[in-house]
């Protein structure tokens, strides 16, 4: 069965497979030698963040005390929706699906093959 593309981006210098592979391989090679310091540099470069990487339990508790209840409720609301969607993804692994997160709000997943993908996870 032939692959049917729903949409396909034209090749450009910034989407070339070889260039993407070269960038990623260079980045990973640098991280092998620079280790944690390299991760911190990438975080500074991509995320503009220079704070602590590991946050202590004490600091988390201290911050938690200063957050108002509405913010806590909003975070819990978002967390519950993200969890419900993630559980649906696990249940439907490798398949398209749709789920009603709350009355009238639907979310889903459509799997579309791509030739090249890049990802940065802070």
pLDDT, residue 57, reads 95
- Evaluated on CA atoms 62, 65, 68, 70, the torsion sign reads positive
pLDDT, residue 116, reads 77
| pTM for the full predicted model | 0.54
Structure tokens belonging to residue 15:
């989407």
Higher pLDDT, 36 or 19: 36
SS3 98: strand
For the stretch 70-102, pLDDT in tens is 999 999 999 999 999 999 999 999 999 999 999
SS3 108: strand
CA distances from 100 to 22, 72, 88, 106 (A): 41, 23, 10, 4
Q: For the chain, give the mean pLDDT.
A: 88
């Amino acid at each position: 069965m032939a692959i049917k593309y729903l949409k396909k981006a034209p090749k450009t210098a910034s989407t070339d497979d070889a260039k993407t592979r070269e960038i990623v391989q260079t980045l990973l090679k640098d991280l092998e030698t620079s280790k944690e310091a390299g991760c911190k540099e990438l975080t500074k470069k991509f995320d503009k963040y220079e704070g602590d990487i590991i946050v202590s339990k004490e600091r988390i508790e201290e911050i938690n005390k200063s957050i108002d209840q509405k913010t806590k409720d909003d975070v819990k609301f978002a967390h519950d929706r993200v969890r419900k969607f993630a559980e649906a993804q696990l249940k439907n692994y490798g398949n398209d699906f749709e789920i009603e997160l709350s009355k009238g709000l639907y979310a889903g997943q459509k799997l579309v093959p791509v030739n090249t993908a890049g990802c940065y996870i802070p």
